[in-house]
Structure 1
Amino acid sequence: MNDIAKIFIEPEEVINFLKSEMNLKEVYENILFKKIIRQVAQERGIILTTEEIEAEANRQRREQHLEKAADTLAWLADQLISAEDWEEGIRDRLLSKKLAEALFSQEVEKFFIQNRLAFEQVILYQLVVESEILAQELYYQIEEGEISFYDAAHRYDIDSDRRHKCGYEGTIYRFDLQSNIATIIFSVPPQQLIGPMKTEQGYHLFIVEELIPAILTRERYQEIINNMFKNWLVNELNYLLYLSLPNQF
């Protein structure tokens, strides 16, 4: 991989490649996002300590299994970046995280409470067939114990992947489902057979294996604050672009 660095590439070639791959806009936006983050962080007096930077560098070394300084230098060379480039990237990521915390840490719990239903999940099994008659017949057979839901899904579901998984759909958020279906699924006790319900796909039978209540875990906290920060960045960029437009009046 290090031999790649010996092949000289003009900066214009990089730009033309990004254009041809339809990636130039994304790169341009990310550069502007970085400028916004640095400027607002400076205005708010947000700084990074040497200890914070070293801790993040050590975390990345462990992640890459880089035990020696020579291993780190070889890894950086393989990525075609210098130690200074690496440190700058670490600074930008940590600064972004600290700014997000400064802006939105007090808003996350409020947002979570207001949108608690959106964070509920179920472990869901589903069986879909084309015929209403077959769906009704399977419903009665399952209720009477003549066949299990999972055997029925394995035999009759119209989707081959779902047949192989005996109807298993996975862990599903409320918004992953049609609103009328979600309303019923999230109000019925686990292990109760639901259906048949008609959609454009066919006639559905459902079983909820488990209802997973909405809990503000560390992962969910980070997900919410990341989304808030991303939306804020987009709005800030749009405002700057608006200010840069020539006066139309």
Structure 2
Amino acid sequence: MKNQFQNELEDVFAYLMQLHQDNIHPKVARKRLRRLQQQYPNTEINLLWEEESYDYSVHYDVLLRHPGEGTVSVSFCPDRALPWPMRGVHRWHDADLVKVNNTVLTIEQAIGCLDSVWDEPKLVNRLLNACLIQEELEKNPIELTDSELQLAIDGWRRAHRLYTSEDTYRWMSQRSMTHTQLEQYVTTEAVVAKLRDKVTASRIKDYFTQHKANFDTAHVAQFSIHGKQKAEQLYQQVLSGDIDFWQAAQQQFLAASQKSVEQTSRMLFAELQRRQMTDQKANAIFSEKPGKLLKPLKTDDDCYELILVLAIPPTCFDVKMQQTIKRILFEAWLAERRQVAKVEWYWGNADRLSQLFVPEQVAAG
């Protein structure tokens, strides 16, 4: 064991010296490390590095872990450089997302698999929001009482339909999550909710007063039809009584393509607010009484909606309305901070990032 350990140290030191002499990039350095890992399969060998932002120089460190014994850290610092213990060294696992057997998937690799992230401003904004929220909470911490945490956990379990201990433990097991991690997860959600309350509390009533018309709500039944002529024909048939609205909706559902079927089934019944609609659609709906069938409204290139107004309830400043306004105000608060934030992305293709994530695009999302 002692001789093997000495051999490992000698080989690792030679490896580090070679990295320094050849000025090797981390990607290549990791490839070279595989020879050592294959040579000493019973030792867990990991490579750490830190890149200086001002000159892009890289400092390497190798960890040798012997199960049941301990871990040895080996590094080489050239003359006039700063040894890694004196730097804000980046731990090797900070960039790792998941490990399956002995294979580690990094965050950069995972994001590379999700091409859709680049075309989803909402998803991008959520990532930026997480940083902005964390920044605010570090400046102005929010604490939860034990009773608040318990209420948050109970509410979270109800929301996820985890009504028994067995259901909760199964959910945690599927995600390799401990009870402590679950508490941290729920605590984060609860703290963000308290932050949202704090940011928006004094503005909710005024916002409702100023924008009340935007929250006019209509309960409707609606489905899509492709083609103006077909939409007009179906509209006239429903008006004349040749077919009722529900039969027309059923026929359209059965005749639609798979993609249209999904849209039709999802949108047959809807609760719509004026702020979520185009002016044309909102004016058509709110100018009629419940029970009225609207003329076909054009939505996309050759798509029309047939809408039956079911009910138009009064606009009330109730709990549901207050929660809706809180979300609107909180998103506006975050949007203001995204617009002035300095954003640097560390994963993905740099050229592509520079084209996609200009401040105007990020803020506009």
TM-score bucket of the superposed structures, by smaller chain: 0.5 to 0.7
AA matched with 2:221: L
Displacement of 1:201: 3.1
Give deviations 1:3-30, integer Å, cap 9, x for gaps: x9783454xx322333313469678535
Whether the 8 Å CA contact 1:112–1:216 is kept in 2: the answer is yes
Aligned length: 229
* CA spacing shift, 1:208–1:33, aligned 2, 3 Å: same
Alignment correspondent of 1:172: 272
Aligned counterpart, 1:100: 196
Query: In the alignment, is the contact (CA less than 8 A) between 1:197 and 1:205 conserved in 2?
Result: yes
User: Tell me, what secondary structure is at the counterpart of 1:185?
Assistant: helix
Q: Superposed, which structure 2 residues align to 1:140-179 within 5 Å?
A: 142-151=238-247, 160=256, 161=261, 168=268, 170-179=270-279
TM-score (norm 2): 0.49
Q: Please show how residues 1-249 of structure 1 align to structure 2 within 5 Å.
A: 7-8=101-102, 10=104, 13-22=105-114, 29=128, 31-42=130-141, 46-60=142-156, 63-67=161-165, 76-119=172-215, 120-125=217-222, 128=225, 130=227, 135=232, 139=236, 142-151=238-247, 160=256, 161=261, 168=268, 170-195=270-295, 200-201=301-302, 206-241=307-342
Aligned partners of 2:227, 2:307: CA distance in 1, in Å?
15
- TM-score normalised according to structure 1 size: 0.66
| Higher relative contact order, chain-length normalized (CA < 8 Å, sep 6+) | 1
Are the aligned partners of 2:219 and 2:271 in contact in 1 as well (CA < 8 Å)? yes
What residue ranges of structure 2 are gaps of 5+ in the alignment? 1-97, 119-123, 344-365
> Aligned-pair distance for 1:104?
0.4
Show the counterpart of 1:245.
none
Q: Quick one: structure 1 residues 236 and 176, their matched pair in 2 at CA, closer, same or farther if it must change by over 3 Å?
A: closer
What's the CA shift string for 1:115-169, capped at 9, x where partnerless?
Answer: 2233222313467574659837953x6555455344456568997349x98x945
Provide closer, same or farther for how the CA distance between residues 209 and 127 of structure 1 changes in structure 2, counting only shifts above 3 A: farther
Q: Indicate if the aligned counterparts of 2:152 and 2:187 stay in contact, CA closer than 8 A.
A: no
**Equivalent residues of 1:32, 1:237 under 8 A apart:** no
Q: Percent identity?
A: 19
Query: Following TM superposition, by how much is the alpha carbon of 1:187 offset from its aligned partner in structure 2, in angstroms?
Result: 0.7
Quick check: 2:292–2:309 contact (8 Å CA) kept in 1?
Answer: yes
2:205 corresponds to which letter in structure 1? E
Is the contact made by 2:221 and 2:270 (CA closer than 8 Å) also made in structure 1? yes
CA distance in 1 between counterparts of 2:338 and 2:127 reads 11
Distance (whole Å) between structure 2 residues aligned to residue 182 and residue 159 of structure 1: 28
Tell me the distance in 2 between the aligned counterparts of 1:8 and 1:125: 52
Q: Which moved more, 1:148-157 or 1:88-97?
A: 148-157
Is contact 2:204–2:326 with CA below 8 Å preserved after alignment? yes
- Counterpart CA distance in 2 for 1:72 and 1:143 is 52
How much does 1:235 deviate? Answer: 2.6
Q: Please give the alpha-carbon distance, in whole angstroms, between the structure 2 residues aligned to 1:101 and 1:228.
A: 10
Matched AA of 1:228: L
Contact 1:41–1:47 under 8 Å retained in 2: no
RMSD: 4.2
Q: Which protein is bigger by CA-based radius of gyration?
A: 2
Moved more, 53-62 or 87-96: 53-62
Aligned to 2:351: none
CA distance in 1, matches of 2:330, 2:136: 10
